[in-house]
Amino acid sequence: PAGVLTTGELQRTVERFGGRKGRAGPGHVGPEYVGRRAVVVGGEPVARSAVRTLRAAGVEVAAVVTELPFPATGFEAVPLLTGTVVTELLGRGRLTGLAVRGRDGRASVLRCDTVVLTGDWVPDH
């Protein structure tokens, strides 16, 4: 669905078309749509950069989700869900949320209209 972005797509869109602040139209920042409430998937420094980019664009960051037990630091004032995986993207036409599952097996839904997929980098050795 619309609202699923990579880190590069997020950065390019915000750089080329600006953020939510002071833009005409509800949340539209160009060909790609950056919504009002986002979840960032990944716990590495690039995820921290995505959080900063979203905030600078006027987007609320609902959570950072990572499978890592000990992600990078610096996610102040953002709920950090460690040991958690995304199991499903929800919505038709436009993202409305993410289904997630914690390491303990508990499932929940995070409401959002944008997800930024940054990935968790694991070394080969």
* Domains of the chain by start residue, with CATH: 6-15+34-79+90-117 (3.50.50)
What is this structure's pTM?
0.86
Contact 35, 113 (CB under 8 A): yes
pLDDT for residue 25: 45
- Which helix (H) or strand (E) covers residue 63, if one does? strand 60-65
Q: Which residues contact 19 (CB under 8 A, 6 or more apart)?
A: 29, 34, 56, 57, 58, 59
- Tens digit of pLDDT per residue, the chain (125 long)? 889 999 999 998 888 876 665 444 444 544 457 889 999 999 898 999 999 999 989 999 999 999 998 877 888 889 999 999 999 999 999 999 999 999 999 999 999 999 999 977 766 66
